[in-house]
Amino acid sequence: MRVALILEYSGERYHGWQSQPACISIQSELETAISRIANCRVGVVAAGRTDAGVHALYQVIHFQTPIWRPMSAWVRGVNALLPDDIAVLWAAEVDETFHARYCAIERRYLYYLLNHPIRPGVSQRKVGWFHKPLELEKMQQAAAMLLGEHDFSAFRTAECQAKDPVRNLTMLEITQNDHFFIFEFRANGFLHHMVRNIVSSLVYIGHGKYPPGWMQLLLQNRDRTLAAPTFSPYGLYLAGISYDAKWNLPPFNQSPLATIMLNANRSLIKV
């Protein structure tokens, strides 16, 4: 049987999604737990590989197993064997042709940024942080220049293995709630470090280092060395994967984490 799972995890303890020698990863923890339930070695395929320190609110994976188990075993049973910072939220048997990565139509990321003179304590490693004041309107003007299909070479790491740097960015929305900025990205796919590199360049624009039009120049020049350094991974969340309705996967619903982050803002002392 082929099974699809939806899971969430905190990435701060892990060296990213992908299994690596002598490193703890989300994939290795999940495969170990699933293999124990299946009583055989099971490999899993994810919709997207998150980097070290990056979190997920809605990650989709699939795996193949010769052993039948009730869906509760793939949720409660696997969760009983996983570390506390990884949780399976949903499971269902899917058609043999379903593929978590290749059947995905759109991916969604959220970036939570605390803009405050004092670094975070309780939300440490759950949000990004920048200490200088940011102007929302300037960042929104620059973000609008990135919408649509573009060559995003200026915003990918040198280690990016994608053969084609062209992506279709369908949403880049920036909202502010007092000291918090939330960046929402939606695209047919993302290059390695693309979201974090865009956020860092937007932050440069937001605090006045460059005007909004600088973003257009970065796109045109396609030179990674001209853009801002890669921003912290800790505020980044894989927040949704969209599929054709025929696969019957549940849609992403806003996580309670968003409310938690914004409520945490109320405890900040005005400086």
E strands in the chain: 2-9, 44-46, 55-64, 86-94, 106-115, 128-130, 148-151, 166-177, 180-187, 236-242
For residues 259 and 137, what is the distance between their CA atoms, to the nearest angstrom?
Answer: 23
Which residues, at least 6 apart from 93, have a Cβ–Cβ distance to it below 8 Å? 1, 2, 3, 4, 71
Q: At CA 177, angle to CA 174 and CA 183, rounded to 5?
A: 25
In the chain, the N- to C-terminal Cα span, in Å, equals 57
What are the CA-CA distances from residue 89 to residues 6, 100, 126, 252 (Å)?
Answer: 5, 16, 20, 12
Q: Is 51 one of the annotated active-site residues of the chain?
A: yes
For residues 225 and 149, what is the distance between their CA atoms, to the nearest angstrom?
Answer: 21
Identify which of 139, 246, 153, 142 has the alpha carbon closest to the alpha carbon of residue 182.
139
Active site (catalytic) residues: 51
